[in-house]
Chain A
Amino acid sequence: MAARRLYRRSRLVDRRVVRRAAFYLLLIAVAALFIGPFLILLSSAIKPATQDVFGFPPDLIPRPPVVDWFREAWTTIPYARFLVNSLIYVGITVPVYLVVSALTAYPLARIAFRGRGLFFMLFLSIMFLPGELMLIPRFLVMSQLGLTDTFASVILPAILSSLGIFLLRQAFSQIPDEIVEAARVDGANEFAIFWRIAVPIVAPTLAVLAILGFVSVWNSFIWPMVTLTSQSKFPIALGIAYLSGVSGTDVRGLAAGTVLSLIPVVVVFLLLQKRILDSMGGAVKG
């Protein structure tokens, strides 16, 4: 009797273990769909020249792994220059983006003035003017301003986003009134309240926007392609497109150059993933 009960219980446990294992297998299979292409890219990037990149069955383990292709990608195009350019674009765009978004969102959340709703709608309308449709007129505006083929022409259109203003407005409006009133009684003017009290409180939102801004600037490709003609100003994404167009680039060299360009975003993502993933849900729910 007791033995039978024990047997039944162990079977129950077994079934749970099997179920859990199957679930993990499913999770891993789906993960393979999403990171498989990156792994194949990486494998191609470290394969020696003697090993085929393509063929049936796929031969994905490099024998032996080599780093030559990274050197090749680095020297075929001015890779370091492109990386530095991208860092400059990110380094200027993101802080300016945060400051401008915060300045714009603050009165929309905390100061009562006529037309406030209208101004908010105005900034939200940016959503309906996507970059793809603004290529031509922006190109003309940049020519009128004499800014085509400059760093400024890449940075200026990237500073305003409806998401940034939307999220910051929401964050500012959640600041408890008592905190602001206390500062006001102490004689702080509106800008002092904004800078010394409100901005530090919304720091988590600013951090999320900084990450999203970093990713979007690092990956931006179409607009820089339209406005930039000097290779010396290319960001890295444009550099990769350029590398793939250079005749005689080995498929392994292209893979290596591409892998290299992914490292900064992937590292930032791995370090700050919790914040990014949490924010995605919040942004939508908000």
Chain B
Amino acid sequence: MSVTGMSGLNGRVVGQRWYTPYLFMVPGLLLYAAMFAWPAVIAVQLAFSDYDIVNPIRWTGLDNFARLADDPRAWIALRNSLLFVVMFLPLTVVAPLFLAMLVNVKLRAIQAFRMLYYLPVITSMVAVAVAWKYVFNREGVVNWMLQLAGLGPIDFLFDRHWALPTVVLLEAWKNAGLFMMIYLAGLQAVPADHLEAARIDGANGRQRLWHVIVPSLRPTFAVTLILSMLEAMRAFESVYVLTRGGPLDSTLTLGYYIWSKAFEDYDMGYASAVGLVLWAIMIVLAAVNLAVTRRKDV
């Protein structure tokens, strides 16, 4: 830190006044206040109120939360969101590691393959959903392959047993490239001499994976785990574009329930209460994650 080195915290550097740093941050702070802090305050206020857009906001205390406890659809949404996490985790924390190992080689064309695997990450969910509706159509390519195997047909997006797994698969497929790149960065930091030493000691591929690669990827796992959980908990866009929560609420996630309560029923207070619960779950997940991965590091 040159700045402190030259003058210390109290003496100012030439051309700097006490307000200089704040002056720089004025636009950022204003936007933070208007687009994040103020809305967050309103969100909490609404969670304890009744609001239907037409009539003024009315304070109702804990009513929304009492309603929430007795609302079977809220419990369905919670269950679906947790199921989402459970299915999403292996698909984004485990599978992309193998993807990253696959592309962690020195070949001339490898960058092109990484790019192809990454393509779904940068395309819009709306577009991807359209593509998936063709692929998972009752007479689409996936059902054709199932038929070749003597199975199906399955109405993936209209069957209440298959709809949620299909939405999860779409989210995982769309995010796989991102997780792959995160792992790739981690893999490239695995000390080559450790791998070489393991190889000389006669460790086979699986042993090298378990005893050398996985332990040194621990910080990376901390990132992918939390990213995956939060992504799954707040899943909404994919549900909206693929199934709208249906059929029969089988893909009703907390995120979708909030949206539908707020912007279809105009039950903004109640929707905000659900939002507060979702937010609390995400914070707890993040905190637990941090605690667990920290402890392992020590």
Contact = CB atoms under 8 A, between A and B. Distances in A.
Contacts of A24: 109
A170 to B, nearest CB: 15
Contact of B28 (A104, A110, A237): A104
B73 to A, nearest CB: 18
Nearest to B144: A56
Contacts of B99: 30
B176 interface: yes
B34 A156 contact: yes
B127 to A, nearest CB: 5
B134 A281 contact: no
A201 interface: no
A104 B25 contact: yes
Interface in B264-285: 268, 271-272, 275, 278-279, 282-283
Interface in A99-113: 99-101, 103-104, 106-108, 110-113
A241 interface: yes
Interface in A228-286: 237-238, 240-241, 244, 251, 254-255, 258, 261-262, 265-266, 269-270, 273-274, 276-277, 280-282, 284-285
A180 B2 contact: yes
Given A41-B134, A133-B275, A277 B46 contact: no
B127 A262 contact: yes
A145 B42 CA distance: 14
Nearest to B141: A58
Interface stretch (B59-67, B160-168, B181-189): B181-189
B182 A280 contact: yes
Contacts of B131: 37-38, 40-41, 258
B293 to A, nearest CB: 14
B3 to A, nearest CB: 5
Interface stretch (A3-11, A63-71, A202-210, A217-225): A217-225
B191 interface: no
Contacts of B41: 137
Nearest to A111: B21
Contacts of A273: 111, 115, 118
Interface stretch (B83-91, B195-203, B235-243): B235-243
Contact of B147 (A56, A191, A280): A56
Contact of A141 (B34, B132, B188): B34
Contacts of B124: 218-219, 221, 237, 240, 261-262, 265
Contact of B122 (A135, A193, A215): A215
Q: Helix, strand, loop or mixed for chain B's interface?
A: helix
Contacts of A226: 263
A277 B128 CA distance: 20
By secondary structure, the A interface counts as helix
B185 A280 contact: yes
B125 A219 contact: yes
B75 interface: no
B223 interface: yes
A106 B13 CA distance: 15
A182 to B, nearest CB: 11
Contacts of A276: 118, 122
Given A107-B21, A136-B46, 11 more contacts: A41-B131, A56-B144, A111-B21, A113-B18, A126-B32, A138-B39, A156-B34, A157-B35, A193-B15, A258-B131, A284-B220
13 contacts: A27-B109, A31-B113, A34-B173, A40-B135, A54-B139, A55-B139, A133-B258, A159-B31, A222-B240, A237-B124, A258-B126, A261-B127, A266-B119
Interface of A: 23-24, 26-27, 30-31, 33-38, 40-41, 44, 53-58, 99-101, 103-104, 106-108, 110-114, 116, 119, 122-123, 125-126, 128-130, 132-141, 145, 156-157, 159-160, 165, 177, 180-181, 184, 187-191, 193-194, 215, 218-219, 221-222, 226, 237-238, 240-241, 244, 251, 254-255, 258, 261-262, 265-266, 269-270, 273-274, 276-277, 280-282, 284-285
Interface of B: 1-6, 9, 13-16, 18, 20-22, 24-25, 27-29, 31-32, 34-36, 38-43, 46, 99, 102-103, 105, 109-111, 113-120, 122-128, 130-132, 134-135, 137-141, 143-144, 147, 173, 176-178, 181-182, 184-186, 188-189, 220, 223, 230, 234, 236-237, 240-241, 255, 258-259, 262-263, 268, 271-272, 275, 278-279, 282-283, 286
